[in-house]
Amino acid sequence: MNKDQSYGGLIFAVSAIVFVLYLIFLTDPVLRTYAIDIPVVLGILGILGITGWIGWTMLTTPPPAPLEAEPSTTSTGTGSSSSKPDEKH
């Protein structure tokens, strides 16, 4: 078994254990509240954390340097409509 399959098996085992524990928590009326509230609160906090991170990144990132416009050249009747000089490869 390669490393990726080992990680896949580990992820599957952990998810199965968490699934069973979650079902056990849902059977007790007192723990049911926590079993529902905790994942919802963590999900909301995760979304707000990612949103805050994006906002902070946008706030602290300096603006890009302005691009300088290339000087335009007019066609001299040579048949070339490109404003760029001939490039040699």
Cβ atoms of 18 and 24 closer than 8 Å: no
Give tens-digit pLDDT for 13-49. Answer: 999 999 998 888 888 888 888 888 999 999 999 999 9
What pLDDT does residue 47 have?
A: 98
What pLDDT does residue 29 have?
A: 86
Q: How large a percentage of the chain has pLDDT more than 70?
A: 79
What pLDDT does residue 80 have?
A: 54
